[in-house]
Amino acid sequence: MSQELKRKYDYYQDEFDKETKNEMEEWARLVDKYASELKKFDMVCAFCGQHMSDLTVNTDCVENNSMFDSYTYFTDDEPPQHIIHKARHWFGRPSLRQFN
């Protein structure tokens, strides 16, 4: 009788381990998907590179106050001309161009 109980225990333990592994893999997929969805909303200031947040969204940008006519932007898109030299942040998707 003891062998039969051990065999049943082992069987149920294996099934539980398989289900737990599948559940953990599903959670990992969901977390990856969630992270990639959040990444779509990641924006930085084209002039200074600060990430957009509730603290920076409507504030002045020190780097957009300079009189340089040429910038290396932190975003994929260039800000419109009417934004340049206005001392305000202009947010866009982050670019890795300057780091390559």
Task: Give the count of alpha carbons within 13 A of 76, CB side only.
Answer: 5
Residues spanned by the domain of 12: 1-40
Residuewise pLDDT in 10s, the chain (100 residues): 688 888 989 898 999 999 999 999 999 999 999 998 888 888 999 999 999 999 999 999 999 987 766 678 899 899 999 999 999 999 999 987 654 4
Same domain for 55 and 31: no
3-state secondary structure of 22: helix
Same domain for 46 and 36: no
Give this prediction's pTM.
Answer: 0.61
- Is 76 within 8 Å of 98 (Cβ atoms)? no
Looking at the structure of the chain, the number of domains it has is 2
